[in-house]
Every structure is written in C-alpha cells, then in structure tokens.
Structure 1
Amino acid sequence: MALSMRQTCKVMSDRLKQQASERGSGSMDAGWDVLTSYRTSSAFLGTAMLRRPWGIGVDPQRNSALHVILAGSCWLRLAGRDDPICLSSGDAVLVTSGIGHALSDPPDAAIVPIRNALAGAPSREPAPDATTLLCAKYQLDEAAPHRMMSVMPPLIHLTAQQVEGNEPLRLALQLLRVEAQGRRNEADVIASRLLDSALVLLLRAWMDVQPAGSGNWFGALSDPAIARALRLIHEQPQDAWTVAALADRVLLSRATFARRFTRLVGEPPLAYVARWRMNLAAKALRETGRSIDEIARAVGYESGPAFSKAFSRVYGRSPGRYRSGSAS
C-alpha cells in the first residue's frame, strides 16, 4: 500500500536518525556538516511525460539542475562533450551550475527550452513510447558563496540501483515527485525545502559510492584531518595560511599533511587556498557592491594591487573589468 506524504516523511526521518546513529562520530560527520549548509534560494520544479521524438534544453547559467527519470529512458548531452549519456528509468542526475545540457530521445531530437516542456500538466496515462521526467532548476542561497560549487564535477549520476538502495534519497525523490505533480505555485517554499533535502541526500549518496582515496574534494571529506583543513580554509580564507600552519591545526606533520591533501583533493594545499580565494572574490564582484579593497582583505590580500594582479592572472582581466562584464 502506498504511503501518505506524512508517513513517508516519518519513514525518511527515522531512517536518517538510524544512519546517523550507525555513523556515530566517524569521519563522514565532517562531510555531513558541509552538506547541511547546502540551501536553495529559488527553484523551478515540474514533471513531464514526453513522447518520442522529444528534446529539452537547459542553457548555461548560474542555475543547477536535477533530473530524475521516472519512467522510460533518454539521452543526456552536456555542452562540450561529444558522447551522449544514456539514462534509464530510476536514474537521477545533477548537472552543476553553468553547464548547458539537453535531454532527448532520440539523441539528435530537436530541442525546446525546459520550461516549455514542463509548462503543461503531465498526463497520468502511461504510454509505451514516452519518458516521464521530474526536473528541478535551482539556485543556491546567495547570502554566502557555497564552499562546494567550485570543486563539484559537472555531472553527478546515480543509477536506479544506487537510488533504490538508498532509502532516504529514494523517499526524498518520491516526495519531490508528489509535490511537483500537485504543485499550486512553482515558487512554493515546500518545494524548495524538499529540494534542499533531496540534493543533500543525493550528494551524500554519491560520496558514499566514490572509491576510497579518489582524487576529489568529496572523497577528501572522508578523511577527518583533511576535512578539517578544508573547513578551516573555507571558513577563514583571510588567514595567512601556510602548509605548516594547516598541518599544525589538524595534528599532522607537514610532509604527511601535504602528501595526503594533494592525493585526496587533487592539488597541493596552497594551490587550493589560492583557487578558493579567487572563487570567493569572483562571486563577491558579481553579486555585491563591496569595494575591490574590501574584497581583497576578505580573501586574504593586504593590498588591492596585489589582489588585482592575482585575480587577473586567474581570470584574464582585472577585478573592475570582471565586475563590469558580469553586470552587462
């Protein structure tokens, strides 16, 4: 018998508590602390039943997109990649910010904007040649830049088997589907909060299936010392970090820390510090009216000229020109 929304919420909550108890105070707590700050500020949510041939596209922008294949199958094509990816019923994909992409069947079908495809009420009658999609476009809360965005891969893909084997994620996606099919307002706060939960659970599920020691930031979160170093860098970018200072704070020798950080994160500690500072600075230039000197100090530079030189080296233009270009 199908569960009501209230029953589903309770099952998901109970399962999360059980998993938290099983995890105890282990190393993944560091990753969970980071993921819980993942918040959406706006979201567009909808479902569509699409009969072959069909194609929908999401233009490159600051939005990210979540797609769940509720029934049928289709092809996903990312901008800049030649080979399409086959998605099957039950698969879930997260395409991160700024990546243009299209879903279609067949792969070369004509493409229309995603809002056009999701505008009408979806048919409840199954069709043998149809694919049913749950799609969400969202932006993160812009009150502060999110620490994961600069290091997330362009695509996170969980298969139907992986989704089905993760009960909290499966239930969260089920709630999203119910809300999307019965929504009264696309900007409904309920949809945004459900999406928050689904995104956190999807990211955690993806982290859980990554090979041990994989060279990415998510894999690094499973190491308590490296996770703490990342939190220090994210929360205090203005500090004069050195490899020795970071190693001291996480109770490792300088050599051990540098070697482990580079292996897990994929770049040396100070390279990561510099890249994170530039990411914060670029976001502040785009989205705030703070002066260049204020931004420079906030990301650890004592003078505006030194910051401008470093920023220009990374982005190919001065902070002022970058800001002007973002505003146009």
Structure 2
Amino acid sequence: MDALTGLLDGPRARGAFLLRILLDAPWSVRLEDEAPLSVTSVVRGHLWACPDGEEPVRLDAGDVVVWVGGEHWSIADDPGTATQVVIGPGQVCTTVEGHDVVEEMSQGVRSWGNSEVGETVLLTGVYLMEGEVTRRLLRALPRTMVLRAGELDTTLLDLLGEEVVRDAPGQEAMLDRLLDLLLISLLRTWFARSRSDAPGWYAAQGDAVVGPALRLMQHHPQHPWSVAELADRSGVSRAAFARRFTELVGAPPMAFLTDWRISLAADLLLDPDLTLASVARQVGYATPFALSAAFKRERGISPRDHRRAALSA
C-alpha cells in the first residue's frame, strides 16, 4: 500500500458519526468531542470556523473544513455569536447549562438543528477512532484544513448528502465507505496544493529513485529489506540512495521502514483473532519476541499492553 492508502487501511471508519445539520441564525456550536478527525462541508449558506487561538475563517457553499486532532473549536453563523450548544465526547449534545437537546433538535433521519429547512445546511462526518497508521498521517497535517469549492473536483459530497438521510439496510457501512473516499479525495487535493506542506514521505512518492523504494517497503513490509538491496532496486549506489532518501523523506531508509512496520503492527494488533506471531510475520519480524522488543522500543509499551488498552477503549 502507498502512504495515503495506509491512512484508512486497517481501522477504517466503522460506525462513523454522520449528520446533516439545519440551522437558522443566530447559531453557534462549541465542538468539544475530542474526535481525532472530522469533515464538515457547507451545502447551503455559510459558517465561520473558529479554532481556539486562531483567526476565524469563513466558509461558503461548497467549501469544506477538515479538523484534525482532539482540540476544541467552534462553528457559528458569526464569530461574535455566543455559544448555544456544546458537543461533547461521544457526540453528546447539550446546552451551555448542560441540558440534553439531542431529541429536542432532531429533524429526522441523521438530521439535526434549530430549523426544519435551514438557512444554513451543513454535512459533517466524524471519525471516532484513531488507528496507528492514521496517526502517522495526522501528525503531518495542520489542525485546520480549509478547501474551497473551486478546487474540489468530486461528486462525493453530493452523494454523501443524498445517502446520509436514507434509512436502508447496510446504510451505516455505505456511509462509512463514502466518508473514507471523501477524506482521501480531500487529502489528495490538499497535498496537491503547491503551498501545502505535504509530509516528506508523501512528496517522495513521485521521486524516480526514492518513490519505487518507498512502494517496495510499503507493499512488502515482511521482506528483509536492506539499504543495499533497495539501492540496487533503485539503480543507484548505496550512499547516493541513503542520502537522497533521507533528504526527501526526512528519515533514513531503515528508520522509515521500522516506523512503518510498527505502525502496521499496531493496527493489526487491534484484530483479536490475530496472534502476535502472525502479526510479526506480516510486518517483517522473525519472532514475536523480535516484534515485542521493537514495538516497546518505538512506542514505550508492549504489543500485548497496546492490544489490551485499545480493546478496552
């Protein structure tokens, strides 16, 4: 898999929170759900995205904001509008005083707001679980990503808007997959911007020397790769390969490979049916002991403790 595929491979969206929001001014929603990632698009009207500690940003119809990380922020019809509703962990919705308004503001299937029609209509999708490969990409993204309607070339927003209000068999799985596809499309657009700071491992995918080596490691983490073999596959000397890889990716080849293997192992460990030995083989470690030692060295926790904590959560 390539680096972007790795974002959503493994613990993809499962039971993601998706909602159509219908609002008449004045309105202001405080988001304290601490979700790892959310996507909010403006279908009609506008919103102001108000990250704590940053200048508010206005979004109009067709624009999208991707919020990364668990920090708090607000959306409103105007930056000066006082908070009316607070969304807490687990998508619990209350007034500022703590009164539950989930049922009170329900507007039908996956629809919510203070209006039946809405001067402003929003579509939001929230990832409730963060996977280890996902975390690797999230570390490379800014907290707030705003993409404008003019730079988006996708019908996925329209399709998601149609599907979110349907109540049919398999609908949750349908919405999860649509959200995954939309996020990948948005990230492609973001990284394609000349002004965006794409992570080194993403930009290096297109390099004639480093790109093929990255794909070999990502597609075949179980292979016992060495710098010499990767350099040979890339058609350059060992020294030239190591130097170019480190310059473009920001880490030496073997350090990148170790990080990739451990990230994949962390995802695989979330499957309770996989043994530690099976996970070790899939990510290139000869024995469970070797994987455990590398995992603890990189993450400060044993694979078993990582699995136990994740399953408990």
Same fold (TM over 0.5): yes
Change in CA separation of 1:60 and 1:147 when aligned onto 2, cut-off 3 Å: closer
Counterpart of 2:99 in structure 1 is none
1:58-97 alignment, distance < 5 Å: 58-60=33-35, 64-70=37-43, 71-77=45-51, 82-83=53-54, 86-89=57-60, 90-95=62-67
> Are the counterparts in 1 of residues 151 and 189 from structure 2 also a CA contact under 8 Å?
no
Q: What whole-Å deviation, never above 9, does each CA across 1:53-72 have from its counterpart, x for those lacking one?
A: 322343346xx421113332
> Are the counterparts in 2 of residues 213 and 263 from structure 1 also a CA contact under 8 Å?
no
2:18 and 2:118 map into 1 onto residues whose CA distance is 21
Give the number of equivalent residue pairs. Answer: 282
Deviation, 1:84, is 6.2
> Are the counterparts in 2 of residues 215 and 264 from structure 1 also a CA contact under 8 Å?
no
> Are the counterparts in 2 of residues 40 and 138 from structure 1 also a CA contact under 8 Å?
yes
Q: 1:104 and 2:90 equivalent?
A: no
Deviation, 1:273, is 0.5
Q: 1:306 aligns with which of 290, 295, 308?
A: 290
The 10-residue stretch of structure 1 (110-119 or 86-95) with the greater mean CA deviation from structure 2: 110-119
Counterpart of 1:242 in structure 2 is 226
Counterpart of 1:137 in structure 2 is 126
Deviation, 1:274, is 0.7
> Are the counterparts in 2 of residues 261 and 267 from structure 1 also a CA contact under 8 Å?
yes
AA paired with 1:104? Answer: I
Name the structure where helix makes up a greater proportion of residues.
Answer: 1
Sequence identity percentage = 30
Change in CA separation of 1:42 and 1:174 when aligned onto 2, cut-off 3 Å: same
Deviation, 1:269, is 1.4
Q: 1:183 aligns with which of 162, 166, 185?
A: 166
2:291 and 2:174 map into 1 onto residues whose CA distance is 41
2:56 and 2:290 map into 1 onto residues whose CA distance is 44
1:210 and 1:202 map into 2 onto residues whose CA distance is 15
> Are the counterparts in 1 of residues 191 and 197 from structure 2 also a CA contact under 8 Å?
no
AA paired with 1:158? Answer: V
Counterpart of 2:304 in structure 1 is 320
> Are the counterparts in 2 of residues 66 and 95 from structure 1 also a CA contact under 8 Å?
yes
1:1-328 alignment, distance < 5 Å: 40-50=13-23, 51-60=26-35, 64-70=37-43, 71-77=45-51, 82-83=53-54, 86-89=57-60, 90-95=62-67, 99-105=70-76, 106=79, 109=83, 111-113=86-88, 114=91, 116=93, 119-120=106-107, 121=111, 123=115, 125-127=117-119, 131-138=120-127, 150-152=136-138, 153-154=140-141, 155=143, 157-160=145-148, 163-166=149-152, 168-169=153-154, 171-180=155-164, 182-185=165-168, 187-211=171-195, 215-328=199-312
Q: What whole-Å deviation, never above 9, does each CA across 1:75-133 have from its counterpart, x for those lacking one?
A: 354xxx7446534224323345x645443334883522446478534546454xxx532
The 10-residue stretch of structure 1 (171-180 or 147-156) with the greater mean CA deviation from structure 2: 147-156
Q: What whole-Å deviation, never above 9, does each CA across 1:160-215 have from its counterpart, x for those lacking one?
A: 2xx3233x32x3223322333x4225934543444344223212211211459954
Query: 1:58 aligns to what SS in structure 2?
Result: coil
> Are the counterparts in 1 of residues 30 and 87 from structure 2 also a CA contact under 8 Å?
yes
> Are the counterparts in 1 of residues 132 and 263 from structure 2 also a CA contact under 8 Å?
no
> Are the counterparts in 2 of residues 94 and 156 from structure 1 also a CA contact under 8 Å?
yes
2:305 and 2:65 map into 1 onto residues whose CA distance is 35
Change in CA separation of 1:82 and 1:216 when aligned onto 2, cut-off 3 Å: farther
Q: TM-score, normalised by structure 1?
A: 0.69
> Are the counterparts in 1 of residues 50 and 56 from structure 2 also a CA contact under 8 Å?
yes
Counterpart of 2:96 in structure 1 is none
2:303 and 2:65 map into 1 onto residues whose CA distance is 34
Query: 1:322 aligns to what SS in structure 2?
Result: helix
Deviation, 1:135, is 0.3
The 10-residue stretch of structure 1 (115-124 or 196-205) with the greater mean CA deviation from structure 2: 115-124
For structure 1, the 5+ residue unaligned runs are 1-29
Change in CA separation of 1:197 and 1:252 when aligned onto 2, cut-off 3 Å: same
2:116 and 2:205 map into 1 onto residues whose CA distance is 42
